[in-house]
Amino acid sequence: MSVIARVFEEAGLPTVVIALIKEHAEKVKPSRALFVPFPYGYPMGKPNDADFQHRVIGAALNLLRRSQGPVLEDFPDEAGPTEFYQASAVTSTEDAIKKDAANEVTGLRAFYERWIEDGNGRTAVGLSGIPQRRFRGMIRFLQDFSMGEETDMKERPQDVPLPQYVRYCVDDLKAFFFESRMAQRPQDSEPELQTWFWGDTAAGQLVAAIAKHMVDTGDEAMARVANGIAR
C-alpha cells in the first residue's frame, strides 16, 4: 500500500496511508503514514465502532499538517483480536469428522438468513455465483473434488479454471459458516469462531481436505490455490 502511495505522490496527488507493518513503512518511506498497532485484517481497529474508526481516520488526516516528510507516526491505542487461528493451529474433534457438511448447511440456514436481515443485506458470500439455497449441491461438488473425482458446477464461468472456482466456492462456504455462527452467537470472539470452524465443523474438515488434495496432486498451480484455501 505504501508503494502505491508513493506512485500517487509522484503523480502529484497528496496521500495519507495507514501502515500495519511499521518495519515495512520505515523501509518503503511513503510520504505520510500512520502506523496502527492492529492485526492484519483490522486497519481501522474495531468493527462496528464508528467512533474508534473516526479516531484512526482523524489521526491520519492530522498528518497533513506536516510541511515535510516522510512522516511516520504511531496511533496510540491497540485494538483487534490478538490471536488468529488457521486450520493447522486447531485440533479437529471426532464429532466434526463424523458429521456431514451438507447437513450443517441446512442447520445454519436460518441463522444465515437472520445475518442478512440484521445487516441490511450485507454478506461476504457471492464469489461463486451459487445461491445459498444450492449450497448442499456445492458441498457435494467440493466433496467429490476433494476425493479426486471428476466434477464441475454449471455456475463456473468458462474463463475460470476449476481449481480457482473451487477456491471461490470455499470462500463462499467460509463466509456462510462464519456469518451464520456470528448471527447465532454474536458474542463469540474471533479465535472462538475460528476454533469452531476448523475444529468442530465437517465443513472445516472438508476445506482442509480440499487443500490437501490440491497439494497432493503435485501440480504447482494447484498448490498455489491450495495456499489460499487452508494451511
Partner 1 sequence: MPRLDQLSEIQRQSTLYFPCLENDTAPWAPWTKELSNTKVALVSSAGLHLRNDRPFKGGDLTYRVIPSDANTSDVIDSHTSIGWDRTGIYRDLNLAFPMDRLRELVERNVIGSLAPDYYSFMGAQRDPRKIMEETSPQAAEAMHAQDVDLVLLVPV
Report if residue 82 touches partner 1, rule: CB under 8 A: yes
> Which residue matches cell numbers 481436505?
209
Instruction: Quote the least distance from Cβ 60 to partner 1, whole Å.
Output: 7
Q: What are phi and psi of 32, to 5 degrees?
A: -135, 115
Among positions 178-217, residues that touch partner 1 (CB under 8 A) are 178-179, 182, 190, 193-194
Give, as one character, the DSSP assignment of residue 37: -
Contact 33, 70 (CB under 8 A): yes
Report if residue 118 touches partner 1, rule: CB under 8 A: no
Q: What letters, b where the CB count within 10 A reaches 16 and e where it falls short, cover 104-142? A: bbeebbebbeebeeeeeeeeebeebebebeebbbbbebb
C-beta of 51 vs 94, nearer to partner 1: 51
Among positions 6-65, residues that touch partner 1 (CB under 8 A) are 6-21, 23-24, 27-31, 37-48, 50, 53-54, 57, 60-61, 64
Query: Of the candidates 45, 38, 9, which has an alpha carbon nearest to the alpha carbon of residue 21?
Result: 38
Instruction: Quote the least distance from Cβ 28 to partner 1, whole Å.
Output: 6
Site string for partner 1, 135-174 (x = CB under 8 A): -----------------------------x--xx--x--x
Report if residue 69 touches partner 1, rule: CB under 8 A: yes
Contact 112, 67 (CB under 8 A): no
Report if residue 75 touches partner 1, rule: CB under 8 A: no
Number of residues that bind partner 1 (CB under 8 A): 85
C-beta of 1 vs 100, nearer to partner 1: 1
| Cis ω before 70 (30° cut-off from 0) | yes
C-beta of 28 vs 100, nearer to partner 1: 28
